Structure 1
Amino acid sequence: MAENTPPVIPESVRDTGLESGGPPKWKIVGPGLVVAATGVGAADMVATLVAGSRYGYALLWAVVLGVILKIVLVEGAGRYTLATGKTIFQGWRSLGKWTTWYFGPYIMIWGFVYGATAMSSAAMPLAALFPAVDLKIWAVLMGLAGFVMIWFGKYAFFEKITAVLVGIMFITVVGLAVIAAPNIPEMFTGFVPLIPEGGVVYTLALAGGVGGTITLAAYGYWLREKGWYTPKWMRVMRIDNSMAYVVTGIFVIAMLIVGAEVVRAAGISLSAGDAGLLDLGNVLNEKYGDVVGTGFLIGFWAASFSSIIGVWNGVSLMFADFWGNMRGKESGHADTRVGGKYFRFYVIWLTFPPMVLFLLDRPIALILAYGVLGSLFMPFLALTLLGLLNGKRIPKAWSNKLHTNIALGITAALFLALGINELIKALAPVLGLGS
């Protein structure tokens, strides 16, 4: 199949009349919500809770900034795909071989370590709810559940499941924020862009961590699976992307409220990583009763499991496109699509090899490589989008305007600063700079 040949239009899209240029219908909005849901995981929830417990509402403006930056990034990835008919990996290859040499090792190491992390994250709330079953067993079951859904399910099924999980996340977390009774006047002061003393790193992390890393680049692949593949879908894509990240912003603000009103009032320090959400669950049980505490754990699970199926689907599509190109097969070839052999290989890679990490101590060299490569991905995405969305690589009608270049430049600078900070943290033990 030639790279610009449109894919078979799904029945759900044919029914809307959009393939013939008919008016968009809200019921088909979806890939943006998938990106946002996949990107907001337990780590984002903990980071936001900690920021709220330490600084109250002072960093609310950083949450809003983070939402805007992610809208800019994802819109750029989607616009490149729709305007050129090419995938993001094809675009990266046009920038030089260095992109392939970076992306190839990255996606393999990232997938191996992330697979174990994601399964463990989704298992934690279930182990808290059903302690008779060991955490490792829950982790394996979560991996297998994600594997079966993605291996046998089509994109439309995957999107519907994600929408249900987003609904659970939204109801539980936003409902909790309402119960926590936010201090509205104090909240409004948080829209003033000030950095509290000692809060530089938290500010950067909050602005840069609202919803997604590698999955942002998967947006173009989900657009293709949805059946949106030409510039006439540009307006629908922009609405889809913006609405999804508005929902994400509301979700993250709700977590900030919980951190400011519940965690800070309780006077506790949350544990590092996903375990911090279990600490919050205990506080909620004591303060509001088991119904609220249990509801939050269900929301925690929904956030984590949506990341599993999102990555199992979206990043597998990215890998399939990468490997298909390496094997001389054009993007859009059956082997590179959902259910193709390259896609299925990576679904297996995400699910089964990482289970070994449940039985072993975390391998230092692998975690180090993961940290180094991972810290550089967001700067890589932002900077390469600047290259792809200007000049001859994109039709002039869809190239960046001045304000878009400024926004992407700010985004690239922010993620570069975050990446350097994470790089220093990853290399510090090796260089003897302390932990």
Structure 2
Amino acid sequence: MKPLSTLAQLGPGIVIAATGLGAGDMVTAAAAGTQFGSALLWAVALGALIKFGLNEGLARWQLCTGTSLLSGWNRHLPRWVAGYFFLYLLVWAFLVAAALMAACGLAAHTVFPALSINAWAAIQTLAAAGLIALGRYPLLETAMKVLIGLMFVTVLTAVAATDFEQIEILPALLPTHFPEDSLTMVLAVLGGVGGSLTLLCYGHWMNEKGWRSPDNLTQARVDLIAAYSLTALFAMGIMLLAAAAAPTDASGLGILLAMADSLGANLGSVFRGLFLAGFWAAVFSSMLGVWQGVPYLFADTLRQFRQRGEARGEVDTRGRAYRGFLLYMAVPPLLLLQFGKPVWLVLVYSVAGAFFMPFLALTLLYLNNRYLSGGGRNSIASNVLLLAGLLLFVVVALAEWW
């Protein structure tokens, strides 16, 4: 394999990074920076490393077996596991779609207030769905590279122009300082960096890129290293900007708008506009990634049910299952913006979602060690990362469930 030498050769990793870097990551990093300054930079780096371990294990399973991880679950785990995942996917997709719509609507409304948040949400969700329905994976990859470039230019420009003289940066990269009452925030940062269920989409994006054999494993690893390096740097930039800006509004998406106002007051209106443009790019790229990637999971789950875990190759993005689920995410969740989230749906989502990440880590420990051989088996380093992820996400799951 020729070494990766240009950004053009990086593909699925850029998509997974742009998808995972959404409003939730920005809010968590900003809240951590506001409350604890730069003290939790190490948690960002560690969280990105653990997510790399999970995604590398998933990629290794698919490249070595020729089947998706969903196929592995269907073939080697009890049948109820696939049923649980299917129900969880339906609820997760519905609520995450509504959250992405609200974030995109707010980002656009802040810049162009002539239209309401809900109107902007509807415009963007339909535009994203149309782009996915009419385009192919190469179009998505190109769009994601443009959006993630915009995200980094805006954040790094603001970082370069900000005075961090009173903020310690290098010492904060090592976990030697654990601020008092920061445990909840540490867990939020560790668990929130780099997405959750969308990690499963990486296997389908590898298929689209033509990476289908163990020969592509090094390529996938370099791709993922680049992806999670970008993820960590972006989240660190947001945390540092929040530490310097010290926004007074620390609730939800409001903290990002307060950061933009603070940057505008300190550096000028141009920087306020740049930050808001980066905020919009982050949330809209997440919408594009979820709209394109999650229907793969629905369609793949259905075909694994039919073929008892033996289905291989690409999912048909022109098929009824894929397009039907795209429509399911793009339209019905708009109702939640009008009427709010039903309480029972939020409870089901919270409980089921809290246990997904430890389940993913556990299955990768089991499947990769038992059913892969030679270079495909988990190395000592991989097992350590997966065990660390398992322990971390169990703690996060119990905290969320409680």
Alignment TM-score > 0.5, same fold: yes
Shift of the 291–22 alpha-carbon distance from structure 1 to 2, 3 Å rule, reads closer
Q: CA deviation at 1:150?
A: 0.8
2-structure distance, mates of 1:303, 1:333: 30
What TM-score comes out, normalization by structure 2 length? 0.95
Q: Distance in 2 between matches of 1:360 and 1:192?
A: 45
Cα offset, 1:333, TM superposition: 6.5
Matched, 1:331 2:304: no
Counterpart check, 1:416 vs 2:394: yes
Distance in 2 separating the partners of 1:347 and 1:149:
11
Query: Which region of structure 1 is more displaced relative to structure 2, 21-30 or 379-388?
Result: 21-30
8 Å contact kept, 1:324–1:342: no
1:378 to 353, 357, 381: 357
Kept in 2: contact 1:81–1:87 (CA 8 A): yes
Q: Give secondary structure in 2 for the equivalent of 1:186.
A: coil
Are 2:38 and 2:167, in contact at CA under 8 Å, matched by a contact in 1? no
Q: Which residue of 1 aligns with 2:321?
A: 342
Cα deviation for residue 65 of structure 1 reads 0.6
After superposition, residues 30-429 of structure 1 pair within 5 angstroms as: 30-93=11-74, 94-183=76-165, 186-193=168-175, 194-263=177-246, 268-271=248-251, 273-328=252-307, 331-332=311-312, 336-391=315-370, 393-424=371-402
Distance 1:414 1:24 in 2: 32
Taking the aligned partners of 1:403 and 1:167, their CA distance within structure 2 comes to 31
Give the Cα–Cα distance (whole angstroms) in 1 for the partners of residues 232 and 35 of structure 2.
Answer: 20
Kept in 2, the 8 Å contact 1:57–1:189? The answer is no
Task: Output the CA distance in 2 between the equivalents of 1:184 and 1:36.
Answer: 30
SS in 2 for 1:103: helix
Q: What SS is found at the alignment partner of 2:181?
A: coil
The whole-number CA distance in structure 1 between the counterparts of 2:194 and 2:218 is 22
Opposite residue 74 of structure 1, the aligned amino acid is: N
Q: Contact 1:84–1:395 at 8 Å: present in 2 too?
A: no
CA gap of 1:67–1:22, structure 2 versus 1, over 3 A, is closer
State whether residues 119 and 139 of structure 1, in contact with CA within 8 Å, keep that contact through their aligned partners in structure 2.
yes
In the TM superposition, residue 377 of structure 1 has moved relative to its aligned partner by: 1.3
Q: Percent identity?
A: 37
Aligned length: 398
The letter for the 1-side match of 2:303 is: G
Given that residues 177 and 254 in structure 1 are in contact (C-alpha distance below 8 angstroms), is that contact kept between their aligned partners in structure 2? yes
State the shift of 1:232 in Å. 0.4
Quote the residue 1:15 is aligned against: none
Distance in 2 (alpha carbons) for counterparts of 1:397 and 1:332: 22
Give the 3 Å change call, closer, same or farther, for CA 183–70 of structure 1 in structure 2: farther
User: 2:17, 2:326 → 1: CA distance?
Assistant: 20
What SS is found at the alignment partner of 1:314? helix
TM-score, normalised with respect to structure 1: 0.88
Given that residues 123 and 301 in structure 1 are in contact (C-alpha distance below 8 angstroms), is that contact kept between their aligned partners in structure 2? Answer: no
Q: Aligned to 1:106, what secondary structure does the other structure show?
A: helix
Structure 1 unaligned spans of 5+: 1-20, 425-435
Secondary structure, counterpart of 1:165 in structure 2: helix
Output the CA distance in 2 between the equivalents of 1:258 and 1:23.
Answer: 35
| Structure 2: segments with no counterpart, 5+ residues | none
- Alignment partners' CA distance in 2, 1:295 and 1:217: 32
Contact between 2:41 and 2:236, CA under 8 Å: does it hold in 1?
A: yes
User: CA separation in 2, counterparts of 1:53 and 1:281?
Assistant: 13
Alpha-carbon distance in structure 1 between the residues aligned to 2:234 and 2:2 = 33
